[in-house]
Amino acid sequence: MVAFHLDPLRDPRWREFLERQPQASVFHTPEWLRALERTYGYKPAVVTTEAPGQGLRNAIVYCHVPSWLTGRRLVSVPFADHCQPLVESAEYFPSLTAALREELRRVKGRYFELRPLQACAELQTSEEFGRSAEYNFHRRDLRPAVDSLFRGFHKNCVQRKIRRAERESLSYQKGNSEALLAAFYTLLRMTRRRHLLPPPPLGWFRNLLNCLGGLAQIHVASHGGKPVASLFTLHYKQTLVYKYGGSDVRFHRLGGMPFLFWQALQEGKRLGAQEFDLGRSDRRALGQAVFKEHLGGVRSSLSYFRYPPRLSVQPLTRGDLGWARRSCGWLPDPLLTLAGRLLYKHVG
């Protein structure tokens, strides 16, 4: 079966295909792909068995990640927690992955990686693919009534903190203004420093806001006019996605993060979302998993697959990165921001 490549930023069939696909996510959209191209120079493409001019019935979207530091590769898709191959019938899958292997050889890449939300049998049993990373994944059903959703929060760790935030008169703002972006990024940088990581470049978030428009929202909680917690969410079809967050540890006692998740959940429900995608977390980061479960998230496994396979299936940890991670704890803000701007394009 012959495979073809198309440009998802310019071929109108791609957007039409996504509208029909129940498994399509915000990470498949031309808006997400355009933000990747603008920020990091990644070139998006789609492989399909449908010839030019024909309607799409199956496809895998991916990006070329050119890096002299970590190696040239194909990723479906960079900086997405998941990106399901949109293949309705198993008979198409071998042709699509064969085309990806050929593209990998053509560009002399090291590997290509698929990040399915639900791995098909062909991936799970194939000897050509290996698991490259495994994570916890959490999502919450938003279909119940708002009062029921609140009762689904952990009583002590979430409900009481939301009530505390309300007593402390935390204010709430949402939108995509430059002022909210600045507040969000300052809090994100604080959080990444605590985790011994540089923040993604500010331009990434500005491009997300510009490309996704109303699909992207910044949520900020403030105390006495000072931002203390923030979230960056995405909304596509019937799914609300939590993608990034940051907070000032000096104000954690006020309950800013639980308060913001509650506000974002209600906003998502008003927009018609039926599911809250709380994202992935490292299996060794137990605190993240517990917090998402306290928010009512249901845990499942999320596996990435790589061709050719590699032996290790665990992502890098703080210990693996050694002094480079530790240096993030003492770098001044301008240098920490510069480190993120220089390094993230090699991560993908």
Q: In sequence order, what are the beta bridge partners of 235?
A: 240
CATH topology of 4-128 equal to that of 138-301?
Answer: yes
Tokens 């050509």 correspond to what residue? Answer: 128
Q: What confidence tens digit (pLDDT) does each residue in 107-156 have? A: 999 999 999 998 877 787 788 899 999 999 999 999 999 999 999 999 99
Task: Output the pTM of the full model.
Answer: 0.93
Protein fold of 138-301: Aminopeptidase (3.40.630)
Q: What confidence tens digit (pLDDT) does each residue in 221-256 have? A: 999 999 999 999 999 999 999 999 999 999 999 999
3-state SS of the chain is: CCCEEECCCCCHHHHHHHHHCCCCCHHHCHHHHHHHHHHHCCEEEEEECCCCCCCCCEEEEEEEECCCCCCCEEEECCCCCCECCEECCHHHHHHHHHHHHHHHHHHCCCCEEEECCCCCHHHHHCCCCEEEEEEEEEEEECCCCHHHHHHCCCHHHHHHHHHHHHHCCCEEEEECCHHHHHHHHHHHHHHHHHCCCCCCCHHHHHHHHHHHHHHEEEEEEEECCEEEEEEEEEEECCEEEEEEEEECHHHHHHCHHHHHHHHHHHHHHHCCCCEEEEEEEECCCHHHHHHHHHCCCEEEEEEEEEECCCCCCCCCCHHHHCHHHHHCCCCCHHHHHHHHHHHHHHCC
pLDDT in 10s for each residue of the chain, 348 residues: 789 999 999 999 999 999 999 999 999 999 999 999 999 999 999 999 999 999 999 999 999 999 999 999 999 999 999 999 999 888 899 999 999 999 999 999 999 999 999 887 778 778 889 999 999 999 999 999 999 999 999 999 999 999 999 999 999 999 999 999 999 999 999 999 999 999 999 999 999 999 999 999 999 999 999 999 999 999 999 999 999 999 999 999 999 999 999 999 999 999 999 999 999 999 888 899 999 999 999 999 999 999 999 744 444 444 444 545 667 777 888 999 999 999 999 998
Residue at 267: amino acid letter = E
- Its CATH class, for the domain covering 4-128, is alpha beta
Q: Where are the domains of the chain?
A: 4-128, 138-301
Q: What confidence tens digit (pLDDT) does each residue in 268-277 have? A: 999 999 999 9
Tokens 């799970």 correspond to what residue? Answer: 124
